[in-house]
């Protein structure tokens, strides 16, 4: 993994050794039987949360500084961040957004000190402050969505629709893991991530993908788990 950024190597190591990335036989939302499963809910320990939030922070900051979130033709003023809010869909996206914003402030407080986090409620609250969202206001704001895994993209479509309905401008989606799979029942070998990117015309970034997990497994996993994951990739990997 010599060409992989240190934070990614550390993230794969923490995911495999700490428990979030496990090996066995798992039934996915799509019905496929996968030899590996990435459970973002397992990053609950302080040291694991540190590794995933650092990885999100670096990925977002690198894209921001490279103007990836700017629409084509937009004015470039690199002293200001190109987004305002990091949004994590409930439930698993909630700690990811919160921790990512904290990591951004650690990386560069002058640039990211004013970035907010937000998340949605599964059920709208009708008392107290009320509403369907918690955290930074979304109306008129440039929003980066963060989430755990992309397999088919369904949860990301829902998040984009909710944010747009609240007046927010979605500028990118960043996930911890792109499983790089073909869409179930699709006639082509198009990936879920590619389909989303074309549908919304948005940058969609992943900290890790199936290829980088397999690279990491060569260092951190057993040969048997590695062989089963490579066979799964040969069967389901998308072509774009």
Q: With binding defined as CB under 6 A, does residue 156 bind ligand OMP?
A: yes
Asked about 127 being catalytic, the answer comes back as yes
Q: With binding defined as CB under 6 A, does residue 154 bind ligand OMP?
A: yes
Handedness of CA 41, 47, 49, 51 (dihedral sign): negative
Per-residue interface string for the shown chain with ligand OMP, residues 25-54, x marking contact by CB under 6 A: ---xxx------xxx---------------
Least spacing, CB of residue 42 vs ligand OMP, in Å: 10
Asked about 29 being catalytic, the answer comes back as no
Q: How many residues bind ligand OMP (CB under 6 A)?
A: 16
Least spacing, CB of residue 233 vs ligand OMP, in Å: 13
Least spacing, CB of residue 129 vs ligand OMP, in Å: 28
Backbone angles phi, psi at 184, to 5 degrees: -60, 140
User: Residue from 15, 55, 100, 152 that binds ligand OMP (CB under 6 A)?
Assistant: 152
Cα–Cα separations (whole angstroms), residue 93 to 38, 53, 108, 216? 14, 12, 22, 24
Separation between Cα atoms, residue 213 and residue 48, nearest integer Å: 17
Tell me which residues in 79-138 interact with ligand OMP (CB under 6 A): none
CA contacts within 13 A on the Cβ side of 104? 28
Q: With binding defined as CB under 6 A, does residue 213 bind ligand OMP?
A: no
Burial class (CB in 10 A: 0-12, 13-18, 19+), 179: buried
User: Residue from 84, 120, 148, 225 that binds ligand OMP (CB under 6 A)?
Assistant: 148
Are the C-beta atoms of residues 215 and 1 closer than 8 Å to each other? yes
Phi/psi region, residue 44 (left: phi>0; alpha: psi -120 to 50; beta: rest), is: alpha
Separation between Cα atoms, residue 56 and residue 67, nearest integer Å: 17
Least spacing, CB of residue 163 vs ligand OMP, in Å: 15
Catalytic member of 17, 29, 109, 125: 125
By CB under 6 A, name the binding residues for ligand OMP: 28-30, 37-39, 148-156, 192
Q: Which residues are catalytic?
A: 125, 127
């Amino acid at each position: 993994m010599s060409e992989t950024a240190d934070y990614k190597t550390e993230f794969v190591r923490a995911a495999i050794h700490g428990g979030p990335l496990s090996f066995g036989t798992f039934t996915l939302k799509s019905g496929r039987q996968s030899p590996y499963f990435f459970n973002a809910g397992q990053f609950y320990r302080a040291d694991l949360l540190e590794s995933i939030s650092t990885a999100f922070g670096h990925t977002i900051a690198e894209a921001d500084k490279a103007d990836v979130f700017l629409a084509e033709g937009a004015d470039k003023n690199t002293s200001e961040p190109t987004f305002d809010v990091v949004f994590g869909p409930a439930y698993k996206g909630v700690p990811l957004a919160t921790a990512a914003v904290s990591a951004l402030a650690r990386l560069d407080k002058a640039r990211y000190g004013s970035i907010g986090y937000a998340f949605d409620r599964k059920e709208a609250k009708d008392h107290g402050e009320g509403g369907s969202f918690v955290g930074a206001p979304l109306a008129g704001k440039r929003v980066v969505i963060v989430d755990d895994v992309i397999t088919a993209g369904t949860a990301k479509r829902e998040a984009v629709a909710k944010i747009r309905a609240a007046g927010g401008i979605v500028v990118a989606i960043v996930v911890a893991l792109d499983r790089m799979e073909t869409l179930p029942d699709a006639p082509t070998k198009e990936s879920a991530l590619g389909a989303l990117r074309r549908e919304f015309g948005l940058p969609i970034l992943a900290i890790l993908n199936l290829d980088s997990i397999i690279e990491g497994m060569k260092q951190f996993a057993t040969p048997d788990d590695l062989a089963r994951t490579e066979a799964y990739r040969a069967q389901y990997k998308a072509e774009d």
